[in-house]
Structure 1
Amino acid sequence: MNIKFVPLFIGLISAISSCQQKPSNPPIIGTWELISATTTEKDTTFSTFNPSVRMIKMINPTHFAFMSHNRQTGSDSAAAFTAGGGKYTLADSVYTEHLEYYIDPAWENNKFEFVVKIAGDTLIQKGIEKVDKLGIDRVITETYVRVKD
């Protein structure tokens, strides 16, 4: 090969390599802030969203975590803080949380299955929240908006 074509050849190889698509993360990966929540128990649906509570959910490729904090509780901020997390799976639109950590241990080691829909920067998840130990069996719908940097 002629020496003057080496830089051109290297440039061509670099250009072709940069065109290869790298696998991208699913759109659910990110940080989400709760903007709406409803619960349905038996035949009654009601809002569970409290605008004075800020809740975020963070989802990475293998785990999720959520935290909420009521900013209007006065001096006892620990009493107004909730957090939990664990592993999850995502198959098509079925998002399943395996809750490993939670402020209330009665919720731990439960599985919660949701159908998720992502439209632009909005994530909606709907599914059954069932904790036999606590007698909880209800449908929840939560709407999140993606937190921007």
Structure 2
Amino acid sequence: MKKSALIILALICFNCKKETPTIAISGTWKLVYAEIIENDSIQIKDLENTEFIKIINDSHFAFFNQNKTDTTNFYSGAGTYVLNGNTYNEVLSFTESQNLKNHKFSFKIQISGDTLIQSGIERIKAAGIDRTITEKYIKIN
């Protein structure tokens, strides 16, 4: 009897789907730090007069940027993403820049508490972009 129970238990465990833990990335995130490394120089984005948020659900993302005091420098974009472990791949489907449309951006992400950090290389020859970025967000919902 014990042998039969062990065999059944082994079969059950063998057929169990092994799930990898997922990172809780869904939510609304506010950019609090952004660093761009390009041509051996480091630029820290001045966020004093601008607001940038990123909204992520189970399959899509959207981002919005605008000045705090007026409507200048407004830009946005949206698309789909795939999260595999800590690799976060975005495809930018909605943008005003034709050179960026349908481009795949690959980032490494890290989430600790209410903080999301994403970093990666953005390289788009047609747009003249070749830089490394690091962005830090705080979850606001």
TM-score by length of 1: 0.76
Opposite residue 64 of structure 2, the aligned amino acid is: M
Aligned ranges for residues 67-106 of structure 1 at < 5 Å? 67-73=64-70, 77=71, 79-106=72-99
Question: Tell me, what secondary structure is at the counterpart of 1:80?
Answer: coil
Shift, 1:92, TM fit? 0.3
* Greater C-alpha Rg: 1
Separation (CA, whole Å) in 1 of partners of 2:32 and 2:76: 17
Please say if 1:38 is aligned against 2:35.
yes
Opposite residue 67 of structure 1, the aligned amino acid is: F
- Structure 1, unaligned runs of 5 or more: 1-23
Number of paired residues? Answer: 121
Please say if 1:56 is aligned against 2:53.
yes
Shift, 1:72, TM fit? 2.8
Separation (CA, whole Å) in 2 of partners of 1:84 and 1:116: 19
Can you list the C-alpha shifts for 1:45-70, whole angstroms capped at 9, x where unaligned?
12023221101000000000000111
Please say if 1:121 is aligned against 2:118.
no
Please say if 1:137 is aligned against 2:130.
yes
Opposite residue 113 of structure 1, the aligned amino acid is: S
TM-score by length of 2: 0.80
Identity in percent: 39
Separation (CA, whole Å) in 1 of partners of 2:93 and 2:125: 16
Instruction: Say if 2:22 and 2:85, in contact at 8 Å, map to a contact too.
Output: no
Instruction: Say if 1:25 and 1:61, in contact at 8 Å, map to a contact too.
Output: no
Which portions of structure 1, spanning 4 or more consecutive aligned residues, are displaced by more than 6 angstroms?
none
